[in-house]
Structure 1
Amino acid sequence: MVNNLKKDIEAAYEAVSPYIKNIPLYHSASFSENYRADIYFKLENLQRTGSFKVRGALNAILKNKEKCANGVITASAGNHAQGVAFSAKLIGVKAVIVMPVHTPLVKINNTKSYGAEVVLHGDTYDDAATMAEILAEEKGLYLIHPFNNIDVIAGQGTIAVEFLKEMQDADNIIIPVGGGGLASGIAAYLKECGSSAKIIGVQSEAVSGMAASLRKRRMVRVTGSSIIAEGISVKTPGDITYDICSKYLDDIVTVSENIIAASILEYMEKAKLVVEGAGAAPLAAIMSRSIDYNNKKNVLIVSGGNIDINMISRIISKGMSTSGRFLEITLNLKDIPGSLAHITTFLADVGANILDIRHDRFGAGLPIGFSRVNLELETKSMEHIEQIVISLKKAGFDVTVC
């Protein structure tokens, strides 16, 4: 069991603070009013490289300069890769980043932009991690694990040093959890400082290795994958992070991918912030009422904002569907003049705004004399969607909700 991380975290703060942004807690009036609670954001999406990960990477390099003489290496397809690459460039050491071969080009280019050498290997993170270990041994490079490393954990814990200077009476600290490095650092510092705040981890229910391990009181490996919250898509926690989280976390909850998508949309619309899936998980826990937040001071750790631009439209659509503001339906209409006008008038009368229409006269299984119409609709709520579907069926339309 790891003990007494407070001194390590304070030393890490002294080391990294000259290089990172200290972003004050942001109190959101709109979110606070909506959820009848005090909602504060720790906006690490505005941190250098767009994520908290730079803190741990930078501390690991600064604390181990002699070991980094030949350079550093890590395996990552996301924020840790950029954190290590940026930190290495800042300190003036070589960085090698091993990424799976199918890593999106934008992430590869972002990592290269910090001067790192990128090695593409394997189909999964595990494949890349194995290659990183081999290369570290062959080339004498210092291996920086994304989360299962005390120096990395101490670096992530510097977030708690910052916000504890601003607020000592928080009721809930809500933290996204993947491998557990961020949660370990923050929880260890707060608990060892005597904070009475409840520290709550949040994982995607699609991949919840830490949650499953804490429930079973032993490290386990889960299956599955997360598309929206890939930054916390970790199947097996580290032994170090598992020990710390099992000691200091008060609770850990899981949230659906759909709710995470809806929370990303909430950030965009109400806070004008771009937040990645992992960073939006704490808000998803509030939106899904997975935790007791009413009339409490809640600090949400917004861990990053490096969202794949190609995913944004899909996430917005999913978020709108989850919040009852988007409906896709398919209708079979008689292929005669006026049929399409009839349905568009009907939808206007029930208050649905048509976003897109697609016509198909030749689809498999479509009766002769009919056309299949796919409609994407802007709606007002889940109740409105239910009203639209019921009204269409009552009017005799053959409707299928997609």
Structure 2
Amino acid sequence: MPLHIETPLLRSAPLSRANNREVWLKLENLQPPGSFKIRGIGHACTVWKNKGATKFVSSSGGNAGLAVAYAGKEMGVPVTVVVPETTTKRAIHFLKQEGAEVIVHGKSWYEANALAETLIEEGVAFIHPFDDPLLWEGHASMIDEVAKSGLTPDAVVLAVGGGGLLAGVAEGMQRNDWANVPIIAVETVGAGSLNAAISAGSPVEINITQTVATSLCARKVAHAAFEWTQQRPVISRLVSDQAALSACDQFLFDHRMLVEPACGAALAIAYESSPVLEHYQRVLVIVCGGVTADIEQIRQWKREAK
């Protein structure tokens, strides 16, 4: 049995009315650990356990680590997650609640990841948070579910951090004959690693500036994610922190569900009725989820955001 669930596909009445088009939501926020991450990470952990792994190690500021912790608990495999100092107390609480050992190290994910890699030894499987073909294969299953429902959208909107979701969704679209359906890839202004890669013609390391969407803060997007931009239609868009936060707040009001700012970035395209949607009558938004921020924190960030 897979560790993820088949999530609901919902036509959003508020967003459909506001955009004068059909807006559909794939509710990955309803996965047991709170985000789409469990699809790929659950698949990777299953593969590694079947190969004899007796421990999982990961590096993550939140959702990927939580998915590894959840998978380890369900499989009876101990888990260590190395997180950077920027990780919220809420995220650390949830990691420990799932039984993971949590090590706080470094000012960024890159420093936390460097330490995590030193913990790899015989019997230990390292679970990367976004850059692994096993993850993309697992993430692709969400598109299999949408295709099975009979819905074929005119465009798919998703958030991009390291690019694992983009790579997985693109893989799923390819195998369901949606190769010509564009992906609208959304990042916050302070974390546009995919946008920079497209502009440069290859993945490049960027300087992350201040952004509340910490789950999107990858200095360099996965090469596989960039490669998909060369093979199929991918439209890059940047949104402000304020737009992402406002989308989180409004989504809670409209659909009674809380998501974190990284997910709010994708929702902002629909909540702002972005011109990028004007050519598409049926739009699918991947509600990737995330549990690292509560509504009080989101509203505080919203007051402080420019």
User: After TM superposition, is the score higher than 0.5?
Assistant: yes
Cα 1:124–1:86 change in 2 (3 A) is: same
Q: Give CA-to-partner distance per residue, 1:134-173, whole Å, 9 cap, x none.
A: 1114x64111111110001111111111111113431011
1:98 aligned to which of 78, 82, 106: 82
Q: Aligned AA for 2:32?
A: R
Distance 1:68 1:208 in 2: 38
1:241 aligned to which of 212, 219, 225: 225
Q: Aligned AA for 2:299?
A: S
Q: How many pairs are equivalent? A: 303
Cα 1:290–1:143 change in 2 (3 A) is: farther
Q: Give CA-to-partner distance per residue, 1:334-378, whole Å, 9 cap, x none.
A: xxxxxxxxxxxxxxxxxxxxxxxxxxxxxxxxxxxxxxxxxxxxx
- 1:250 is matched with which residue? 234
Deviation at 1:93, TM superposition (A): 1.1
Give ranges in structure 2 of 5+ residues lacking alignment.
none
- 1:60 is matched with which residue? 44
Q: Aligned AA for 1:234?
A: A
Distance 2:227 2:212 in 1: 27
- 1:297 is matched with which residue? 282
Distance 2:65 2:48 in 1: 18
Higher relative contact order (CA 8 A, sep 6+): 2
Q: Give CA-to-partner distance per residue, 1:247-276, whole Å, 9 cap, x none.
A: 235212111111112211221222222121
Q: Is the 8 A contact 2:188 2:240 kept in 1?
A: yes
Q: Give CA-to-partner distance per residue, 1:201-243, whole Å, 9 cap, x none.
A: 1111111111111222111011123532111121101223332
1:166 aligns with 2:149: yes
Give ranges in structure 1 of 5+ residues lacking alignment.
1-14, 323-402
Q: Aligned AA for 1:198?
A: P
Distance 1:228 1:290 in 2: 24
* SS of aligned partner of 1:49: coil
Cα 1:318–1:34 change in 2 (3 A) is: farther
Which has the larger displacement, 82-91 or 192-201?
192-201
Q: Give CA-to-partner distance per residue, 1:4-23, whole Å, 9 cap, x none.
A: xxxxxxxxxxx62xx32212
- 1:262 is matched with which residue? 246
Give the root-mean-square deviation of aligned CA atoms: 2.0
Higher CA-based Rg: 1
Distance 1:225 1:45 in 2: 26
1:45 aligned to which of 29, 36, 50: 29
In the TM superposition, structure 1's runs of 4+ consecutive aligned residues that sit over 3 Å from their partners are 315-319
Distance 2:147 2:33 in 1: 23
Q: Is the 8 A contact 2:144 2:172 kept in 1?
A: yes
Cα 1:153–1:244 change in 2 (3 A) is: same
Cα 1:251–1:142 change in 2 (3 A) is: same
* SS of aligned partner of 2:18: helix
* SS of aligned partner of 2:54: coil
